[in-house]
Amino acid sequence: MYTEEDLQILLRVRELIRQGRSIGEIAGVGREALLRESDGRVPERPGGPPPKREKLGAETLGELHDQSEQIVAAALAMDQRSIDRALDECFSRVSPESVIFEVIEPATRSIGELWAAGKCSVASEHIATGAFVHRLLKLVESAAPVRSDHRPVIVSCFPDEYHQLGALIVSYHLSRHGLRVSYMGAALPFEDLESACDVLRPSAVLLSATRPALFQLHRKALAETARRAGRRAPFYVGGQGAPQSDPLLEHFGVRFPAKAGSQREALDGLAEELRETAVAI
């Protein structure tokens, strides 16, 4: 017998299919998000308990590893359809969070290493990244709280930073923890970021930099932006290109998230900190 919640989910799935969404994409949304979309329930406030993490067995982890390797091979062959099929299969079997950390992230690292070794073209990297970004944008949208009593967290990339995968993963993780996120994408100029802070009055601002050279290029401009806008909201800087500390930026209140044993643990810690400091509307 179907429960009332099951029927609500089926009706929402039918609606999404009519809108052109694939079964794999709908499966990636997750049961709780489908229920929120179907009946307008308000998710837990930022102060509520964090979402439970899916536990995967060794066999499932091995299969996800194989799927990740298949995605890398498909990217090298510029086979977009095979990438999409592999992602659809993964999202239909495990939670979106598991797909992110067990499939997408390992594939991204492998592709980056192959590119650095001259064994992967920019075109292949763009095909894979485009597929990942497409899925993550949908996940961020689906995980967003229906309503929120707190000001948003702005998440964006440094100026000239076009690698937005990390920022999207952060956005999804924060949304799943009940935080309202305003995602502003790649290569956001600091003057536009400052204008957004004036309008949105965020609880916090998170910026991503994937290359140390890019961080250094915009370091002084960030210090000036933080000096003016950081009094209204704390700034956080993360990503592979960010240092663990910077005296100049820390003088103006910029924070560097503490390193942890894994990226998941680091994101859990950041989400908890932001939930505790979220500013009510």
Tell whether 134 and 185 lie within a shared domain: no
Tokens 């998000």 label which residue? 33
Tell whether 50 and 77 lie within a shared domain: yes
Pairing of strands 153-157, 181-183: parallel
- State what percent of residues in the chain have pLDDT above 90: 63
Higher pLDDT, 230 or 247: 247
Q: Is residue 11 part of a domain?
A: no
pTM of the model: 0.80
Is 80 exceeded by the pLDDT of residue 201?
yes
- For the CA atoms of the chain, what is the radius of gyration? 19
Its domain, for residue 243, covers 153-277
What pLDDT was estimated at residue 38?
62
Q: Is the dihedral of CA 80, 81, 87, 91 positive or negative?
A: positive
Tell whether 210 and 112 lie within a shared domain: no
Instruction: Specify burial of residue 139 (Cβ count, 10 A radius: 0-12, 13-18, 19+).
Output: buried
Tell whether 114 and 54 lie within a shared domain: yes
Q: Which of 143, 166, 187 is the last residue of a domain?
A: 143
Total domain count, the chain: 2
Question: Can you tell me the distance from the alpha carbon of 214 to that of 271, in angstroms, rounded to the nearest whole number?
Answer: 25
- Residue 153 neighbours by CB under 8 Å, 6+ apart: 174, 179, 180, 181, 182, 202, 203, 204, 205, 206, 274, 278
Q: Which of 143, 166, 201 is the last residue of a domain?
A: 143
Tell whether 139 and 157 lie within a shared domain: no
Tell whether 223 and 272 lie within a shared domain: yes
Tell whether 128 and 186 lie within a shared domain: no
> Phi-psi bin for 61: left (phi > 0), alpha (psi -120 to 50), beta?
alpha
Tell whether 124 and 162 lie within a shared domain: no
Task: Name the amino acid, one letter, at 221.
Answer: A
Q: Which of 103, 123, 143 is the last residue of a domain?
A: 143
The CATH number for 52's domain is 1.10.1240.10
Is 90 exceeded by the pLDDT of residue 203?
yes
pLDDT (average), residues 102-117: 95
Tell whether 185 and 255 lie within a shared domain: yes
Tell whether 176 and 200 lie within a shared domain: yes
pLDDT (average), residues 248-277: 87
Tell whether 257 and 233 lie within a shared domain: yes
Q: Is residue 128 part of a domain?
A: yes
The CATH number for 220's domain is 3.40.50.280
pLDDT tens, position by position, 8-66: 778 777 766 654 455 666 776 677 677 766 654 444 445 456 677 778 899 999 999 99
What pLDDT was estimated at residue 261?
72
Q: Is residue 148 part of a domain?
A: no
Tell whether 267 and 211 lie within a shared domain: yes
